[in-house]
Structure 1
Amino acid sequence: MTRRELGDAATTVVAEGSDLLIERVFAAPRELVWTAMTTAEHLARWIGPHGTTTEVVELDLRPGGRWKWINGEVAFLGEYLEVDPPKRLVRTTAPEQGPPGPPAVETITFEEVDGGTRVHWLTTFPSPDVLDFAVSTGMAMGIVEQYERLAGLLAQG
């Protein structure tokens, strides 16, 4: 398995096997980071690369609840599997017009660290090939840019 470092100085993005790991420390309290990452009004302001807009169509934040947002011309959707505010979130995710097969599973943890919150976001894709395809679309740069947008939103309080 080849390990690929795809992030920048602020945001770690590592692809290996079927897993994509994203990690960043935000200079904000854990509850604020949780809120920014789990409410429609805030998600719409930072999800996606620079210059894109996101419409949050559905967000039912509970186990079994569904979510869907549209970024540019691509819709993403899934189901919440675990919701443990403000510590942990597990959900499925897939593009609405994606290939058939199982969705990816995202496990996002929020850890208090000195002066902020470490977000550890692990996405397990159905196979290494599906991860390779996602990475080939420019996903890693989009992740770095959306985390820059999130950091800016958090800095505003």
Structure 2
Amino acid sequence: MVRRLDASPQRVFEAWLDPQVARHWLFTSPISEHNITEIDARVGGAWRITDRREGVAYTGIGEYLEIAPPRRIVFTFAMPQFSPAYDRIDVEIEPDGGASVLTVTQHGLPPDFNEATEAGWNLMFDTLAAWLARD
């Protein structure tokens, strides 16, 4: 998925790794009742996001495989309550004038989940764009 964001690559990069920013958009939704975001932003570091919606807690977990500021982040992603499988997420951030082009690739996703996953990422990217526009 590709999205142009009206923010510098550095700001977009930090939005993925700063728990105080990520908690507002990454693996959360507008109907979130409570969110706990833990990020150990280093290669080999773990991340965990628990987001409570309509009384149900959803938890995503993973590990950072690559962190190359401000252009690239690679991490694993799983939701153990649904599946023991881990996907790999590649995040690429390229400058585009005063903005950035964000490219996110999710590896390992079963084809029947593509449409719902794309809708989820689009919702998160919309929220990220609004968050970045606040400043």
Cα deviation digits, residues 40-61 of structure 1 (max 9, x gap):
00011112233225320x2111
Q: Which amino acid aligns with 2:39?
A: L
Q: CA deviation at 1:131?
A: 4.2
In structure 2, C-alpha distance between the alignment counterparts of 1:26 and 1:98, rounded to whole Å: 31
In structure 2, C-alpha distance between the alignment counterparts of 1:79 and 1:124, rounded to whole Å: 15
1:75 matched to which residue of 2? 59
Q: After the TM superposition, which residues 1-157 of structure 1 pair with which residues of structure 2 at under 5 Å, given as runs?
A: 22-47=1-26, 48-52=28-32, 53-56=34-37, 58-72=38-52, 73-101=57-85, 103-125=86-108, 130-132=110-112, 134-135=113-114, 138-157=116-135
Identity among equivalent positions (%) equals 25
Q: Which runs of 4+ in 1 moved over 6 A?
A: none
Q: What is the number of residues matched between the two proteins?
A: 129
Q: 1:140 to 1:71 in 2, by over 3 A?
A: farther
Conservation of the 8 A alpha-carbon contact between 2:78 and 2:84: no
Conservation of the 8 A alpha-carbon contact between 1:106 and 1:123: yes
Q: CA deviation at 1:23?
A: 1.1
Q: Which runs of 5 or more structure 2 residues have no equivalent in the other structure?
A: none
Give the secondary-structure state (helix, strand or coil) at the position aligned to 2:75. Answer: strand
Q: Which runs of 5 or more structure 1 residues have no equivalent in the other structure?
A: 1-21
Cα deviation digits, residues 91-141 of structure 1 (max 9, x gap):
10010223234x10011011001230011111101x6xx342x346x3332
1:8 matched to which residue of 2? none
In structure 2, C-alpha distance between the alignment counterparts of 1:76 and 1:93, rounded to whole Å: 7
Length-normalised TM-score, structure 2: 0.86
Length-normalised TM-score, structure 1: 0.75
In structure 1, C-alpha distance between the alignment counterparts of 2:119 and 2:106, rounded to whole Å: 16
RMSD: 1.7
